[in-house]
Structure 1
Amino acid sequence: MTDQCLFCGIVAGTVPSVKVAEDETTYAFMDINPGSDGHLLVVPKRHSKDLMEIPADDLAAVTLAAQRIAKAAVPALGADGVNLLNCCGADAWQTVFHFHLHVIPRYVDKSRDRLGLPWVPTPGDAEAIAATGAKVVAALG
């Protein structure tokens, strides 16, 4: 836990939050800047800056908690779907540097869903995709 981390303060109870769920490893709370009705965050209680630093056991616990919460929230809120989103690094839109998963219920009714993606899927260059894939395979060893 760090003194200057907003999410560590939420986990410690020194920063207020609307708690949704908690277990020995994770804490889930409502996002105060929601992209949709029911948008919440799941964090590990132990501080990790991002996806590159989080220990595998904490990552697994956060992901399983997010799934459990999504399975309950989607029908309870009448959502039409759900996104799980992690942003790793400032250039990937991370603004709080404590690993977290966004659980974002999605709705056909846009009065309940304010989230829009800047990316529109379009076909890429097959050779470039294969070359990039080969780089990742090589990095994995």
Structure 2
Amino acid sequence: MRFRGKSIRRKIVALLLVPLISVTALSALSGALTGREALDLRHLKNAVARVGDPVQRAAAAVQQERFDTLIHLAAPHDADTARQLRADRSATDHAVSAVRKGDSPALRRSLDGTARGHLDAFLAATRKLPGVKSDRSHVVL
């Protein structure tokens, strides 16, 4: 570059222009990346609230029902175990229905393939629960 005959002010501006543009471009890029990550985090928080927490509660309810079923099998004539088992079955049904209520096409679009597959597998497994519960050959209430 030829700077002869130019003012000092122009020379300083010309020398500082490249780093200033670079810093501005890097700031814009980091802002865009951070903003996108923040939006992804917000979508993830929504997905966890609508599906993750209900699935966790449903899984805990199924485990509690299984535990109480074993207790009832150990003492089939105890009225307390039968009452507790009925209550846990109702709680499991309620928790599973909450998972189904939270499932929507909009939510499915926001999930990645792996999460969608896990949700589908969980819902398929919960569809088998009424058949397992209706098999009364082992559990008498």
TM over 0.5, shorter chain: no
Higher helix share: 2
- TM bucket normalised to smaller: under 0.3
Higher strand share: 1
Q: Looking at CA atoms only, which structure, 1 or 2, has the larger radius of gyration?
A: 2
